[in-house]
Every structure is written in C-alpha cells, then in structure tokens.
Amino acid sequence: MEAIKVEAKSLLNRLKRRDDWYKCLYTLNPYRGCFFSCPYCYDVAEKRRGKYHIYPSEVSKQIYVKTNASEVLRREIRRKPRDVVFIGSATDPYQPAEEKFKVSRRCLEVLVEAGWPVEVGTKSLLLERDLDLLAEASEKAFCCVFITVTTLDEELVKLFEPSAPKPEERLRLVERLSDAGINVCVAMIPVFPYLTDNLNHFCEVASEAAKHGAKYFMAGELTLPGEVKNRFYRLLEACRPELLPKYRQLYGASGYIQSSAYHAKIRRLEAEALAKFKLSREIALKAGLSLQDFL
Ligand code: SF4
C-alpha cells in the first residue's frame, strides 16, 4: 500500500451536535483510506454530492497521510472551545503507516498537552505504543479507547477483516489498556445481519470484553451506503450467496436498515448482553462528574 503525503487545510471536524454514542463534539482523522481494507468500510468510499463513491484507495491501494496534522490541530484548538475529540471516526488512526509517520501520536500529544478530553477508535495493536499519552489524558481530563471486535468467529474474521489484527490480540490489548487504568469500550460494530445478530454472538463478545477488563460495550448496525453496498454484496455473492436475497430485502435501495423491528432487536440483544456481563453502554466521562467538569 502506497502512502501519499498531503497537507491538511483543516483537521477538527465539529459535529452538528454532541454524538449520542461517543459523547464527542469533534472528530479528527489523521489519515484518509485504511490499510486494513475491511470490505464493509465506508472509508473506502467517499461522499460526493450526497452519494458514496468508491474511494481511490480501493482501486489504487493508496492511503493519504496528513503530515501537518498536529500543526493544524495546534492552531485550531486555540480558536475552538474545548470539548471531547474522537480520533479515528472514519479511518483507523493506528493503521500500519502510523508506525512510520506518527501523525496520530503527535495529534494526541497536542490534545493531551492542552488538556482536551480524547477518545480513540482502532483495531490496531500499535495503539499500545501511545499508552503513556493515553494514561496522561486519563489523568488530566478524560480518555476512552474504543476497540472494535465484531466477532470471534474465525471464518467471519477471514471474510470481513482479513488484514486487521486478530480479535484475540485486540482483546489482549483491551486488557493491557484496562490494567493501565484507561477506559475501554469494546465496540461490536458492525453487527452482520443473519450472521452475528443473535444472542450467542453478542454474549460471546461481551463476555470476552468483560473478562479482559473493558468497562463499556456497544453494538451497532451495519450500514452500506452507496457503492459500499455493491462492494459488500459482491463479497456475499462469492462467499455466502444464500444471504444475498435477505440482505437485499433488509437494506432495500438505501443501504440503511429501515426496519424499526430490526433496530429494536439489536438494542434488545445489546441490553441483554450488557446486563449479563455487567457492562455499561453509556460513556461516563468520570464517575460522579458531568461533561461540564471537563470543559
Ligand atoms: S480498520 Fe476500520 S477504518 Fe480501517 S478499513 Fe477496517 S473498518 Fe475501515
């Protein structure tokens, strides 16, 4: 995979309103495109004129590295009100290129130095390199790391996340982060309809999350916007063709599940798993303290 250096004009993306799930108000992505290339990822697509198109990285196997990200971020945080920043909302900030470029680390340094609350989402074991900064962020303001574990089923992992670190390795990372006093949420996102949307599966992932010291667990539906849907359907057609008609029915033309009964089912499975393994879904910035205490 080729890494192309680019200069970012801006970095912090302010959401229209605080995110219900992550409680962040800003997102930040040091990279565009992702080495891990999970076939359900919308980072390989980009939205133009309201429609998703296949992102160039899928075709040309390129990722874009925002080499000046930390300088841009330093400028931006001087002008913006302090709030929770989620690093890696669209693309994995600790994908292999980070080992060389250290753009995510430098962004984290800027935020921690300024005492901003931070969250990081990743599947990568490289995150452990920055344990010192994550611990400092936890001390100074607030920090929560979201480690994605969609499934422990080897066949499904091969199919859907062939290039990412194995889920068992990610769970060991969960344990090391938790042992270091860092808040960890195991994110079972996405849930694959007719494959992982059952109580056994939810309980298997939630039980491992709890066993490895995670405080939080959340599950989220698979979305297949625009071209991502065609790409994912091509994979299903090749590997699980019997599921294709069911997916077509569930997703319709939009690429989003419209059935409120299906969404209710996912919330029910999540609630059962949370209760069974005494995990929480609500990211609390610190026990007994509200968000305002950090801002
Ligand atoms: S690791 Fe995350 S950002 Fe990277 S391809 Fe997979 S889903 Fe997308």
DSSP string, the chain: -EEEEE--S---EE-SS--TTT--SEEE-SEES-TT--TT-GGGEEEETTEEEE-HHHHH-EEEEETTHHHHHHHHHHHS----EEE-SSS-TTSTHHHHH-HHHHHHHHHHHTT--EEEEES-GGGGGGHHHHHHHHHHS-EEEEEE-----HHHHHHH-TTSPPHHHHHHHHHHHHHTT-EEEEEEEEE-TTTT-SHHHHHHHHHHHHHTT-SEEEEEE----THHHHHHHHHHHHH-GGGHHHHHHHHTTTTS---HHHHHHHHHHHHHHHHHTT-B-S--SBTTB-GGGG-
Token representation of residue 240 = 């699980």
Check residue 52 and give its pLDDT: 53
Q: Would the pTM of this model clear 0.85, i.e. be above it?
A: yes
Q: Is residue 278 part of a domain?
A: no
Q: Is residue 204 part of a domain?
A: no
CA of 17 to the centre of ligand 1 (A): 24
Q: Is residue 292 part of a domain?
A: no
Total count of domains within the chain: 1
Q: Which amino acids bring their CB within 6 angstroms of ligand 1?
A: 34, 36-38, 41, 43, 91-92, 123, 164
Return the best residue to mutate from 37, 42, 55 for the ligand 1 pocket (most ligand atoms within 8 A of CB): 37
Return the best residue to mutate from 91, 122, 146 for the ligand 1 pocket (most ligand atoms within 8 A of CB): 91
Number of other residues whose CB lies within 10 A of the CB of residue 129? 15
CA of 20 to the centre of ligand 1 (A): 21
Check residue 288 and give its pLDDT: 47
CA of 23 to the centre of ligand 1 (A): 21
Q: Is residue 126 part of a domain?
A: yes
Return the best residue to mutate from 27, 34, 42 for the ligand 1 pocket (most ligand atoms within 8 A of CB): 34
Q: Is residue 136 part of a domain?
A: yes
Q: What is the pLDDT along the chain (295 residues), one digit of tens a residue?
A: 789 999 999 999 999 999 999 999 999 999 999 999 899 997 765 555 555 555 544 444 689 999 999 999 999 999 999 999 999 999 999 999 999 999 999 999 999 999 999 999 999 999 999 999 999 999 998 999 999 999 999 999 999 999 999 999 999 999 999 999 999 999 999 999 999 999 999 999 999 999 999 999 999 999 999 889 998 999 999 999 999 999 999 999 999 999 999 999 999 999 999 999 999 998 876 544 555 565 5
Structural domain boundaries, residue 81: 1-141
Q: Is residue 203 part of a domain?
A: no
User: What burial class does residue 158 get, using C-beta atoms within 10 Å of its C-beta: 0-12 exposed, 13-18 middle, 19+ buried?
Assistant: exposed
Q: Is residue 293 part of a domain?
A: no
Q: Is residue 8 part of a domain?
A: yes
CA of 148 to the centre of ligand 1 (A): 10
